[in-house]
Amino acid sequence: MSSPIIKACAYTLFHVPSFVRYGSKPTREESNSPQPLLPLIEKHLRSFEEAVEYPPNQVFIGNLHPDRLNDIEQPWYDHLLKGASRDGVYGEIMPEEEFFGLLKLADEFDLIWFEKEYAPIFQQKLRGNPLFGKIDLGKTDKGVDMDRIQEKVAGQESLPLYHQGRVVGCFHRHHEQDDSLKAQVLMENLMAKASGALVLKHLLKRSQVSPEEIDFILSCSEEAVGDRYNRGGGSLSKAIGEMCGCVNATGCDIKAFCAAPIYAIVNAAGLVKSGVFKSVVVVGGGCLAKLGMKFKGHITNDMPILEDVLGGIAFLVTEDDGESPIIRLDSVGKHDIGSGSAQQNIMESLVSKPLDRIGKKITEVDKYGTEMHNPEVTVPSGSGNVPLNNYRMIGALAVLRKEIERGEIDRFVLQHGMPGFSPTQGHIPAAVPFLGHAIDAIKQGEMTNAMFVSKGSLFLGRMSQLSDGMSFLIEENPAKKA
């Protein structure tokens, strides 16, 4: 029986500097700080052009291979790729004005009001995007007087929306006693929906599959959609699919902290392999809460606040097309409850055990995708180089198994790893940003396989001290080899 494949991938970024203030960390710090922090934050925000020309962002949307970052001097924010395009092989980087238009398009409950001069501008900007040039944008150009916005912000817990330092609208609370429906929470949810919808549109365009052909959608976004009776029990998958015209699909959400995309892809592959569904989408929207998460380290180091972008990821899992790399379902690695939480135990569960099962050495995997966090975001705030640490751990396992010498770990990292290039958006960096590059390289005969290893911090929910994780391997389609 044939194996499921990942037919297409899409990746998008959304440059939303005006929302950095609403990231969890900036919001908390601002309310606790004796001095106003927002002017300092605004001083360190990047322009859209700077975000587009930032080398890791170009890698994320597919215009640059991750290994090329090794050739670009750091800090990368001082070595921009002049003239780089917002349009990528796998998606795009959307500017804030367009994203406002997209947010309003995603808004089914009149949660957002834009001021009457700005609403048509935002709609027009979205209309300029080729993906939205011909679709009905409804009444998204209808705005309200600034007086009404100010009234809502002053008296009814609506949050002001800013653009280039000016108030352009507001985001409403939708139930006066339900904190699951307060403005901040609904804004997080709607931003995940809107960003998920754009990346799904790119996925459908890239795969040349019509929306009607999609059977099932798994959202791996992190937001807790729901009301006071079922906080986090709701779903974004159908909301995202609805925006993209996937009228024959249903769906649900997979929750597994940062490891959710890998869980979702494995579930999607299982559904396709079993014959339950033929075309399954895995989609993840961006995470507002994580904007500006490391802003203090960035300000202290007088560098731009790099966490000014939301991410979006989408994958189409289908039956074998005889061409695309296959997902080896016998390669799935999982972090069992009894595995323990030590790093060595986790990596053995996710790397050594599954490779043993399929008779491969660690060194026989061409490239590993791990937590692909951009080190320029994390190192200045003292959080270390996450992908490098993970690659060294995999290299150390290879040493323990006597596949390489201890002195060869650095070479192993260079050969089988890559610099981190993903925004620190939780589920977004979870190994899968490398899937698009890996699939292309395998199709072009430059690689034969790649393994994707993702970890999740289960303990953050305070229900268990356990860690979490899942992995799988893709390899060249056997039909191509023949």
Among 129, 235, 248, 343, binds another protein (CB under 8 A): 343
If the CB atoms of residues 31 and 465 are measured against another protein, the closer one turns out to be 465
Task: Please select the residue that binds another protein; options are 83, 465, 481, 482, rule is CB under 8 A.
Answer: 465
Closer by beta carbon to another protein, 161 or else 386: 386
Q: In what order do the strands lie in the sheet with 166-171?
A: 112-114, 166-171, 159-163
Q: Which of 192, 160, 16, 190 is nearest to 98 (CA)?
A: 16
Across the chain, which distance is largest between two alpha carbons, in Å?
71
Strand partners, 284: 313
**Closest CB 258 distance from another protein, rounded Å:** 8
Question: Is residue 337 near another protein by the rule CB under 8 A?
Answer: no
Neighbouring residues of 324: CB distance < 8 A, sequence distance ≥ 6: 5, 6, 7, 439, 443, 477
Q: Measuring CA to CA, which residue among 244, 154, 161 is closest to residue 203?
A: 244
Q: Residue 362 is which amino acid?
A: I
Round to whole Å and give the CA distance between 146 and 113. Answer: 10
**Which of 12, 339, 390, 471: binder of another protein (CB under 8 A)?**
390
> Among 49, 50, 174, 459, which residue sits at the site for another protein (rule: CB under 8 A)?
459
Find the binder of another protein among 460, 463, 481, 482 (CB under 8 A).
460
Site for another protein in 409-428 (CB under 8 A): 424
* Residue among 101, 285, 429, 433 that touches another protein (CB under 8 A): 429
> From the CB of 30, what's the least distance to another protein, in Å?
21
To another protein, the closest distance from the beta carbon of 374 in angstroms equals: 10
467 binds another protein (CB under 8 A): yes
> Is residue 341 helix, strand or coil?
coil
Q: Which residues contact 132 (CB under 8 A, 6 or more apart)?
A: 101, 102, 105, 126
Name, in order, each residue with C-beta under 8 angstroms of 158's C-beta and a sequence gap of 6 or more. 113, 149, 152, 170, 171, 172, 173, 183
Q: What's the closest the beta carbon of residue 381 comes to another protein, in angstroms?
A: 8
How many residues contact another protein, by CB under 8 A? 21
**Crossing angle between the packed helical segments 118-127 and 96-106, to the nearest 10 degrees:** 100
24 scored as a contact of another protein (CB under 8 A): no
Taking the C-alpha atoms of residue 66 and residue 70, their distance in angstroms, rounded to an integer, is 8
Chain positions 370 to 389 lying near another protein, rule: CB under 8 A, are 371, 373, 378, 381-384, 386, 389
Contact range with another protein by CB under 8 A, out of 36-44, 45-53, 312-320, 457-465: 457-465
Among 135, 342, 358, 414, binds another protein (CB under 8 A): 342
Question: Contact residues for another protein (CB under 8 A)?
Answer: 341-343, 371, 373, 378, 381-384, 386, 389-390, 424, 429, 455, 457, 459-460, 465, 467
